[in-house]
Structure 1
Amino acid sequence: MKSLIICALMLSQTALAYIEYPVAKKIPQVETRFGVLIEDHYKWMENPSDPDLWSWIEEQKAVTNNYLDANLSDAFAARTLEFRKLKVEQTKLTDAAEPKFALPIPFDENMTQKRFIKWETKSSNFKSNEPKTESATYAVKTQTVGNGDLSRVIITQKSDNKLVDILMVKFYQFITWADDNSFYYVSDMDQNIGGGRPALFKHTVGEIQSEDKLLLSGRSASSDLTIHQVGKNFYAQVDEFIGSLQLSTGKLTNRHIVDGEIIEMQGDLEAEATIRSFKNANYGELYKLRLRDGSRRLFVKEQDFVAESAKTLDLASTFIIGLKDGAHVAGIYNSITESMKMIDLQDGTIDLVSAKDGVLKLGFETYTQPRKVYSYDLKTLDLKVLAAQSYPIELDLDKVYYTASNGERASMWVVRKKGVKLTSKTPTILYGYGGFKSAITPAFGMYESLSWMEKGGSFVVVTLPGSLDLGNSWFQVARVGGRIHSWDSFALAAKELFRLGWTSADNIGMMGASNGGTLTAGTLQRHSDTFKAAIPIVGVMDLLNFTLFTAGKYWTEDYGNPFVEKDFRAIFPLSPYHNIERRPYPATMVMTAEFDDRVVPMHSYKYLARLQEYNTSDAPILLYNKEWGGHGRASGSARESSKYVAAFYTFFAQQLGL
């Protein structure tokens, strides 16, 4: 390993004009797959125990620390912590409007095992009056490891809080207690890396975890297993089927094909699943599947939005949250009149707080409005504010449209501090995701951008192919080889901002996290002259081997399977790591975390090493490696996670002239 040398031809006190990077060793390795030669000289970086890797990482960290303006970084970190503290305080105020919140539907950047988040009652949130939901003797707590997929299940005695047992589980879901000493849970069969199948287990407190009784499992590593409770009965969704589950034996009976995605389970009289199906409708239809006999009926015809969640209110009424044009809409569907009454909440993110005595309590926030809690009277249709958050910063917003690469019109949201006039010199960050059916719905200070906008920068969120914003076709067009539609559309959104005179190629940067990191790297490869700077965060960079690591086995619906020839031939020309060319690249900071078990950091390490090797420009190519952190930006200690956020805004500030 070559020692670190940093040459100091100073452009300013905070930026280096030339950097000599630590040299990563290269071990020649060539694989032939489906007749195609694949060179991968940095494959050795896939071994996290290699001492040369950690020496190289430490040297890279020194380069990055020398490059980033320490004073600016400290200022961003301090403001990030202040805004976070204010967020906690403000949340307490709005939560006071209703102490028991349901699960919201935020944008999830983390490519979870579930493709989208649902707020209906889940099996881990049973009502307290259901039998066996608690043990008289023991308490069960879950502690996430690295803010990713691996968790510790910590079991203590209620009497004295004494620790009596610990399980290590992956994709964990608590189900219920079997008796006072044993409980059921769902976890991946392999808690370490790759290859496992989701399974239902029974664990007895104090017994060795390897002796847990296996009751039910999916067929393959890419299977899904979800346990639902309706009243006192349990149902299991395994792969494409759902059936009645006898917990004690794992026996599944009366199985029925789901043929869609279950967005609610309910059963006042008898158990029914509400299923979203795109089979006959681009924006989807909702069906009811009666679990007793498998009868299926159309419940809600296709609307002008994609239904994300449903909550049955009574025999006639269902509350539905939908996705439309980059934001949520909500309404009450009357199954008798077959009509939808929309609630007047626009261009924001909506979640159901509670539904009681004919009154809904709804959470709502936009890019410019912090969270509010409303009451909505189902009889009078009155919508009233119960509680509201307030921040010492006001924001302006423009919602504009651009034409995506497949010819469809899509939205983007341009946010900045109130009074900031947009010009061709405005420092601008373009943010997106573009995959896994996940839409970015509005949030105040998206991606902790308040400190950036406070200094005069613009933050732009782009609606991209790969989500469900424009229906199932919008998702399908960006799958596998069609991923270029997400990447090309990201660049087209930037060019629309140029046309409007709101920024320029010299003043714009792009970033995204997880699949958004892949988006950033892919766009960088195809449109490097469109951006001055780029920050791919915890991205999937090696699209030819991602299935071999941790949660990668669940991503083939989007990326394709690189070990299936048809998919491989579509993926190979797109894999960000494998397609880096010897040419000039803009300033880039690749960000990852040491304990990311969702997208393992080897993706970023290999990508960074090759990008440094092949870049012919003087622009910096840096690595930011978060210590003791996981996949999410807020993982790790408050200090380290605030430094992480400060790092990308500091880098953009230096590159874009903030």
Structure 2
Amino acid sequence: MRTRATLAALLGTAAMTLSGPLIAQEAPLSYPATETVDTVEEQFGVKVADPYRWLENDVRVDPKVAAWVESQNKVTDAYLETLPGRAALATRMRALYDYARTGVPEVAGNRYFFTRNAGLQNQAVLYVKDGANGAERVLIDPNGWAKDGATALDAWVPSEDGSKLIYSIQDGGSDWRTVKILDVATGKPLDDEVKWVKFSALEWDKAGKGFYYSRFPEPDKEGEFQSLNTNQEIRYHAIGTPQSADPLIYATPQEPQLNHSAQVSDDGSFLLVTSSSGTDERYRLTMIDLDGTKASTSQRVIVPELVNDWQMIGMAGDRIYFVTNKDAPRLRIVSMARNGNEASIETVVPEGEAVIAGASVVGGKLVANYLQDARNVVKLFDLAGKPMGELPLPGIGSVGGFEGDLDSKETFFAYSSFNRPTTIYRYDLTSGQVSPWAEPKLAFNPDDYAVEQRFYASKDGTKVPMFIVRKKTVTGPAPTLLYGYGGFNISVLPGFSPTRLAWLEQGGVYAQASLRGGGEYGKAWHDAGRLANKQNVFDDFIAAGEYLIKQGVTGKDQLAIEGRSNGGLLVGAVVNQRPDLFSAAHAAVGVMDMLRFDRFTAGRYWVDDYGYPNKEADFRTLLTYSPYHTIRKADYPAVMVSTADTDDRVVPGHSFKYTARLQATQAGDKPHLIRIETRAGHGSGKPTDKIIEEFSDIYAFLAHFTGLKIAGE
């Protein structure tokens, strides 16, 4: 856990009392001195200074960077200790987290596998039941794997008969995974261990004798968390053999930039390899015939070009079903003969007004999950594409699940919304009945909160949807937290968060804008917010803030913003562009140096959305909004940057460099701090204790600068 420092030696003069929604005056913080280097590189006739280049070094390897991190955390911790309401927020968040959270079950053989967190466990536990009415028992409990709770159970896949289970382990938040196998009857792991797995599906063969996985070459120690991910391979692991004996199934050494993922067909007759070069849904499909556990040496490419999205969703007879955006920007469902190819596809469910977010072939039906104005609608079809109605949902929210086979009699799905935690439902595929399977018991009343969706105009007139959530008793301008992402075709949907609810309980408002660059309206919406169009995302977010103020949802000095990852880039960019609009900002695990993002770990994939820094047109666009390079002398809002030392997705050097430059610039007297977590990564696998500690810190900071009064201060 992060250590707490005392205040006296670091802050100098004590903070003055509140006056109105904001602090009347605070003594400027004394930040640690950060060494600068004379690094200037000329690109396309532009000289670009990078005085904090040394902060890109791995904090676990470079003692100088480690010392800088320690000094920054001391200042941040000392400041956080002065904030009223922080302890009260942590107490309330802990209470709101204390309810059973169950995952969508998966049925294999006669067994039901599912995860559950009893409430305050750091990691969810995997359970199994023998039969629908059998007694549940613990299969894997990761809570004893590490003293700090930061080693997590990641993916888990039962064999078709439910007798064995592949599972992957995530340590300290890293993207690297270690894969093991469990005997379900005894609950004991086998001796098998597979390492250097990342961005991988785990696929059993039909006989349950082994599995297919994707891995990268083993990196050297210094490059473990920073080196570029290239030359991914698909291999097969047979139970009881060492990883060194795993045969190579598929690789493209002539195209080292390609990633490869394996999927075994429903009938077990072939392996579908999906290859991609970046974050775009542009895939090449290669079919490899299987004879039991043996892969054929002959390979047949059925989709050769990296142009369109292709998702295999199941089989019926000799027909393979896909969701694709080929000639359908909002996607359609098609089928292909077992011996067919891209040219022979037939439309089953045509493109509609709403975007298909996912689909499955289950129980003799097609279940299609649509995105309609950034919320889910589930439609049913027969296998010929004939409509069979909609699945009733409890309200405005998001759903996921619907796994199963062609002959399944039941399937399960999860539903959640801003004011309703995840509930698991069982859908009877024969009768059509939907019934709750796992309902949480809550420490609050969901009906106390209003969820509405509005549409506002961006700078160029584009209508952008935004959800607004608040207690029904909150009227008039109130402290507001605005969240956004806007990138990589990712849709930001309604969902429940105990930490966010703690903000709402205090009388705060939460707003979530569905910015361009996301996937809410299909390919055109994504394209309108990337590459040369990236400024549209920032304009959308700025317009959202202006709308909230103009409509009286929040006041001029009551607006905070937050974003994570690509959303951290969003926050950094808009704070530089409109520092006058916001009172406080939280930029989490953000991409902050847009001229060097492609040099580390997964960064090379992001060129699909951001462009290539070594191409002149892209370089000039990136330089216009790169948060690290566009910090300026102005009266900035209070800024909290957060990252983690084991983030090997967006390496923490982005946040380190941005913070150092912000602190060194005459950017106003409000604090500009960084919170650096240890034994944590980009977000997944983070233990409950760390989540509560982090968000009580962050939300106390945002509340302080928006005037949100925390009960119990």
Structure-2 residue corresponding to 1:242: 285
**1:40-189 counterparts in 2 under 5 A?**
40-48=50-58, 49-68=61-80, 69=82, 72-86=85-99, 89-91=100-102, 100=112, 125=157, 127-129=159-161, 134=164, 140-154=166-180, 161=189, 165=193, 167-176=195-204, 184-189=212-217
Distance 1:187 1:93 in 2: 27
Aligned twin of 1:283: 330
Taking the aligned partners of 1:408 and 1:614, their CA distance within structure 2 comes to 35
In structure 2, how many angstroms separate the alpha carbons of the residues matched to 1:607 and 1:392? 39
Letter in 2 for 1:171: F
Does the 8 Å contact 1:276/1:307 carry over to 2?
A: no
Aligned residues of 1:223 and 1:238 also touching (Cα < 8 A): yes
The answer on 1:319 being equivalent to 2:367 is yes
1:574 aligns with 2:625: yes
Q: CA deviation at 1:195?
A: 4.2
Shift of 1:102: 8.7
| SS state at 1:588 partner | strand
**Which residue does the alignment assign to 2:234?**
200
1:528-547 aligned within 5 A: 528-547=579-598
Alpha-carbon distance in structure 1 between the residues aligned to 2:556 and 2:693: 27
Name the CA distance, whole Å, in 1 between partners of 2:616 and 2:206. Answer: 46
C-alpha contact (below 8 Å) 1:542/1:603 kept by paired residues: yes
Change (3 A) 1:607 1:291: farther
Task: Provide closer, same or farther for how the CA distance between residues 376 and 246 of structure 1 changes in structure 2, counting only shifts above 3 A.
Answer: closer
User: For the Cα contact (< 8 Å) 2:39–2:49, is it kept in 1?
Assistant: yes
Alignment CA distance shift 1:635-1:30 (3 Å): same
**8 Å contact kept, 1:635–1:641:** no
CA 1:100–1:510 in structure 2 vs 1: closer, same or farther (change >3 Å)?
farther
- Between Structure 1 and Structure 2, how many residues are aligned? 621
Alignment partners' CA distance in 1, 2:193 and 2:363: 42
CA 1:596–1:357: 2 relative to 1, 3 Å:
closer
The unaligned stretches of length 5 or more in structure 1 are 104-122
Q: Post-superposition shift, 1:495?
A: 1.1
Say which of 248, 255, 268 aligns to 1:232: 268
* DSSP 3-state at the match of 2:420: coil
The AA in structure 1 aligned to 2:480 is T
Map 1:441-452 onto structure 2 (within 5 A).
Answer: 441-445=493-497, 448-452=499-503
Q: Residue by residue, what CA displacement relative to the aligned partner does 1:20-49 show, whole Å, maximum 9, x if unpaired?
A: 110110011011223322210101111123
Could you tell me which residue of structure 1 aligns to residue 11 of structure 2?
6
Deviation at 1:511, TM superposition (A): 0.3
Q: Secondary structure at the match of 2:469?
A: strand
Alignment of 1:479-628 (within 5 A): 479-628=530-679
In 2, Cα distance between equivalents of 1:140 and 1:281: 36
Change (3 A) 1:46 1:443: same
Distance change in 2, residues 1:296/1:517 (3 Å): same
The residue type equivalent to 1:462 in the other structure is: A
**CA offset at residue 221 of structure 1?**
4.6
Q: CA deviation at 1:481?
A: 2.6
**Residue 431, structure 1, aligned to residue 483, structure 2:** yes
Q: CA separation of 1:472/1:161 partners in 2, compared to 1, >3 Å: closer, same or farther?
A: closer
Report the Cα distance in structure 2 between the residues aligned to 1:102 and 1:161, rounded to whole angstroms.
Answer: 18
**CA distance in 1 between partners of 2:246 and 2:320 (Å):** 31
8 A contact 1:102–1:353 mirrored in 2? no
Alignment CA distance shift 1:211-1:129 (3 Å): closer
CA, structure 1 residues 506+250, in 2 after alignment: closer, same or farther (shift >3 Å)? farther
Alpha-carbon distance in structure 2 between the residues aligned to 1:102 and 1:292: 36
CA 1:385–1:161: 2 relative to 1, 3 Å: closer
Q: 1:289-326 deviations in whole A, cap 9, x for unaligned?
A: 334122211222121210011112355x3110011111
User: Residue type matched to 1:465 in 2?
Assistant: R
- SS of alignment partner, residue 475 of structure 1: helix
- Structure 1 CA distance for aligned equivalents of residues 105 and 89 of structure 2: 27
Distance of aligned partners of 1:41 and 1:81 in 2 relative to their CA distance in 1, 3 Å threshold: same
Please tell me whether residue 216 in structure 1 is matched to residue 250 in structure 2: yes
Return closer, same or farther for 1:555/1:530 CA change in 2, 3 Å cut-off. same
Residues 503 and 699 of structure 2 are in contact (CA less than 8 Å); yes or no, is this contact kept in structure 1?
A: yes
- In the alignment, the residues of structure 2 paired with residue 555 and residue 100 of structure 1 have an alpha-carbon distance, to the nearest angstrom, of 38
> What is the TM-score normalised by the length of structure 2?
0.79
Seen in structure 2, the aligned counterparts of structure 1 residues 195 and 364 have a Cα distance that, compared at 3 Å, is: closer
Residue of structure 2 equivalent to 1:36: 46
- Check 1:280–1:244 CA distance in 2 against 1; reply closer, same or farther (3 A cut): closer
Partner residue of 1:108?
A: none
For 1:570 and 1:194, locate their aligned partners in 2 and report how far apart those are by CA, in whole Å.
24
CA distance in 2, matches of 1:183, 1:477: 40
C-alpha contact (below 8 Å) 2:458/2:540 kept by paired residues: yes
Structure 2 CA distance for aligned equivalents of residues 167 and 385 of structure 1 = 38
Residue type of the partner of 1:91? T
Deviation readout 1:357-394 (Å, 9 max, x if unpaired): 76654432222233334455667765555553342323
Q: Distance in 2 between matches of 1:95 and 1:418?
A: 38
TM-score, length of structure 1 as denominator length:
0.86
Could you give the per-residue CA deviations for residues 431-475 of structure 1, whole angstroms, max 9, x where no partner exists? Answer: 111111111111123x73111111111111111101121221110
- State the SS of the aligned residue for 1:153: strand
Name the structure 2 match of 1:646.
696
Distance 1:402 1:490 in 2: 11
Report the Cα distance in structure 2 between the residues aligned to 1:160 and 1:503, rounded to whole angstroms. 55
Aligned-residue Cα RMSD (Å) equals 3.3
Q: What fraction of aligned residue pairs are identical, expressed as a percent?
A: 27
1:343: how far off? 2.7
After superposition, residues 341-360 of structure 1 pair within 5 angstroms as 341-345=389-393, 346-353=395-402
Distance 1:359 1:635 in 2: 30
- Equivalent of residue 470 in structure 2, options 416, 439, 446: 416
Q: Where does the alignment leave 5 or more consecutive residues of structure 2 unmatched?
A: 1-8, 116-154, 277-282, 709-713
Whether the aligned pair in 2 keeps the contact of 1:533 and 1:587 (CA below 8 Å) is yes
Match of 1:17? 27
Cα distance in structure 2, aligned partners of 1:175 and 1:493: 43
Deviations 1:381-420, CA, capped at 9 Å, x for gaps = 6555555334232322222111134432222111123422
1:245 to 1:525, Cα distance in 2 relative to 1, 3 A? same
1:123-159 alpha-carbon deviations (Å, 9 max, x no partner):
97465239xx95xxxx754211332421123468979
Which of 247, 251, 260 is the aligned partner of 2:297? Answer: 251
